[in-house]
Amino acid sequence: MMKTLFLLVDEARERLKQNSHEFNDKCEIVLSILRSSGAVPYRRSTLNGHVHKLLSACIVHAVELGETFRMTSRMHKKFHDMNISTKFVSYLDKLVEEKLLSSNISNEKAEGDLTVSNDISKFLRT
């Protein structure tokens, strides 16, 4: 079963609340990859670090589930209503551009079904 991004975010938030060292370590690895690729800005980590961490948690959770997830909306209002930073859209777009996520619809935007790249997955499976 494919999850929507919004469900994935909810589940990733719950995983972060559980404070598992293993999960948090994996999130930090992914966050380092995201920062080094430029997908999330290092300079804004003080202001948006919690958003960056949630994004990395979503990626880790998707890899652990072996799931592709669906971007059902790009509307900022929907993200705001779901209590998710509107920066998520631009971060996901950047992940697609950097080929850390692949979209079944676009090579430039996070649209449709999104799959985590093998470049990230291999770091989490070791």
One DSSP character per residue, 35-59 reads: HHHTSS-STTHHHHHHHHHHHHHHH
Show me where the domains of the chain are located. 3-124
What pTM, to 2 d.p., does this model score?
Answer: 0.91
Mean pLDDT by 10 residues, the chain (126 residues): 91 96 95 92 73 96 93 93 92 95 94 93 79
